[in-house]
Amino acid sequence: MTKCTLNKHGRTLWRWEHAEVLDELRERMLREPEKMALRKRLVEHPFGTMKRAFYQGYLLPIGLNKVVGEVGFTMLAYNVRRVLNILGPGFMQVF
């Protein structure tokens, strides 16, 4: 026992209260690699487009609220651009 730790109370392990959710996710990722490959193809494309088209390679603001705001504006711009590409610029003439 003395070879393991010098602490007189023994060794203490800390684990997040929801760690089993992460363990389940890791297990599912290993069990279903084809779904992970599909997710990479579908989800990673918008982020790559945002980084390239909107120059969002890195974030300038400091603080979670400011970063969330900047990312939100970037996603809004991406979605508006996507709507314009899908429907075309003349779709507003209907209104």
8 within domain boundaries: no
- Of 39, 69, 70, 66, the closest CA to residue 54 belongs to 70
13 within domain boundaries: no
87 within domain boundaries: yes
**How many percent of the chain have pLDDT more than 90?**
19
10 within domain boundaries: no
Domain range for 77 is 19-94
Stated pTM of the model: 0.50
25 within domain boundaries: yes
76 within domain boundaries: yes
2 within domain boundaries: no
Summarised one tens digit per residue, pLDDT across range 28-50 is 999 999 988 888 787 777 877 77
Q: Number of structural domains, the chain?
A: 1
B/e letters for 43-64, b = 16+ CB within 10 Å, e = fewer, are eeeeeeebeeeeebeeeeeeee
